[in-house]
Amino acid sequence: MRKAVIAAVLVGLGGSAASVTGQTFPTEDPVIRQMWQFGMVDSHAAQLAQTLMDSIGGRLTGTPPIDMGLDWLVKMYRSWGIEARKEQYGTWTGWRRGITHIDMLTPRVRTIEGTLLGWSAGTDGPVEGAVIRFPAVTSQAQFQEWLPQAKGKFVLLDAPRLSCRPARQWDEFGQPGSGGRGRGGRGGSPPPSSWERLQMKQDSLNTLFRDWMRAADGNRQGRPTDRLRTALEQAGVAGILQSYWSNETGINKVFTANTREVPALDLSCEDYGLLYRLSENGQGPTLRVDAQAEFPGDVPTFNTIGMIRGSELPNEYVLLSAHFDSFDSSSGATDNGTGTITMLEAMRIIKQAYPNPRRTIMAGHWSGEEQGLNGSRAWAKDHPEIVQGLQALFNQDNGTGRVVNISMQGLVNVANHFGDWMSRIPTEISDFIELRIPGSPGGGGSDYASFICAGAPAFNLSSLNWDYGTYTWHTNRDTYDKLVIDDLRNNATLTAMLAYLASEDDRLDRERRVGTNWPQCRDGARSAGG
């Protein structure tokens, strides 16, 4: 009994009626009342989220965890009596992450905080080598002349941060002339604070590295990082070291790499700076790296679709939308595990409270969003009849916070529908939501863009920030503990209610805002090669 209680607390169930604030029902609609009960009182959101984030984890396209997760979605839907299937739309580079161990051996022993970047090669057993920084070159010829010196070494590719303290600390603790931000100036104003002096030095260092990299790349167009990684790989370096600090203590943005022979590693702000200073001051840093990764070849890519068939208008659709893939340095919790659970839990609520909908209600869990909305764009391309028959799409993809904003996406005649729907939803949910009328169509920020481009009524459920951009978006700290379960429960219940109300309503008009530059639809990439 004691173990069960502890487990419930750890998962954050919070599902009893006593834990939910009193509700105000504007109407006597029995479906809305049942949806509140199933979504806010008898919620499954925390349990579902714990399985997805902790057991399945990060879901990089082309990796085993995303396939495991898509299969899990199908299993959950079918356990509730909801039709579900996986649909292949293409292939992608297969990759399997193993362990990453990084240790500094000299001038002292220290375990380094870092991880292998996605789609990077690993090592063939432990590899040791000296650490050097990227060279100060002014031409591609100089870079080519330097390259043989990098063989067998770990190369620091990014500029280091001079301080890994977040800016908020300088604001709180700094003093004019010795700390603080924004207090210095010119023309007789006080001298720059230490924060401003530090930023000037940081900007200069960033500029130096950028100039060196551009010169080494021959000043070609675009970002040179991928091409320089390839050049270093071909020169036989032991590995490539990078660090993309997210301006918050202990948090890095961790993306992917293109190396197929040597490891590309992201290191913490602090440890990257340590290695840079040791190298710059001739103090002989060396590393031992054991990073495991496999490339099984191209693998199929899928979306998972759940469906409750309509009883009156089965060829018209309400579509719940969220991308399922994530980067894999953490658990993909708020990007976009929360959107995934919102739509999964909403479908469970709908099945219980509204099992025979007027229109067909579907859920789309998309792969490949992080590589360019590939899964949803391909699915929209493959199913024009659903795009044509779409009554409404509701998408969620910006973190764990409660929904507070919905744009009409430039469709000029849909606001009255939303106003009516909001008037029927309990005020504990609706009072937080602002409608942007008429708004403008999104061009590619998330998967609703794959449908609004065709003029279909596709709406994004925008959430409270919770420091999303700095704290969890594409970071190594996007984990289950960052979820706000009350808000997740709120969003799933809201989505279920919107799906019900849209299913029962008259057909939404698609008239577009005059003078709006409407985005163009395009197919998603069906393979890593394009």
Which sequence spans correspond to the domains of the chain?
51-94+298-504, 96-294
Phi, psi of 367 (to 5 degrees): -95, 165
Least Cα distance to 392 among 370, 354, 421 occurs for 421
Q: What is the mean pLDDT of residues 488-508?
A: 98
Q: Partners of 394 in the beta sheet?
A: 320, 459
pLDDT per position as a tens digit, 200-248:
999 999 999 999 999 999 999 988 999 999 999 999 999 999 999 999 9
The correct answer on CATH 3.40.50.720 for the domain covering 51-94+298-504 is no
pLDDT per position as a tens digit, 107-151:
999 999 999 999 999 999 999 999 999 999 999 999 999 999 999
Give the pLDDT band (50/70/90) at residue 6: very low
Q: What is the pTM of this model?
A: 0.94
Residue 278: per-residue pLDDT: 98
Does residue 461 sit in helix, strand or coil?
strand
Residue 239 near residue 154, CB atoms below 8 Å: yes
Q: What is the mean pLDDT of residues 416-444?
A: 96
Does residue 76 sit in helix, strand or coil?
helix
Say which CATH class 96-294 falls into: alpha beta
pLDDT of 19 strictly over 60: no
299, amino acid identity: V
pLDDT of 275 strictly over 80: yes
Could you give the percent of the chain with pLDDT greater than 70? 93
Least Cα distance to 102 among 285, 287, 250, 245 occurs for 287
* Cα(308)–Cα(83) distance, integer angstroms: 7
Residue 48: per-residue pLDDT: 98
Q: Is 97 exposed, middle or buried (0-12, 13-18, 19+ CB in 10 A)?
A: buried
Residue 21: per-residue pLDDT: 58
Least Cα distance to 167 among 190, 191, 196 occurs for 196
CB atoms within 10 A of CB 519: 17
Length of the chain: 530
Would you state the structure tokens that stand for residue 405, as one six-digit string?
């904003």
Q: Which residues contact 141 (CB under 8 A, 6 or more apart)?
A: none
pLDDT per position as a tens digit, 151-182:
999 999 999 999 999 988 877 786 665 444 44
The least confident of 168-177, 351-360, 417-426 is: 168-177
CB atoms within 10 A of CB 22: 7
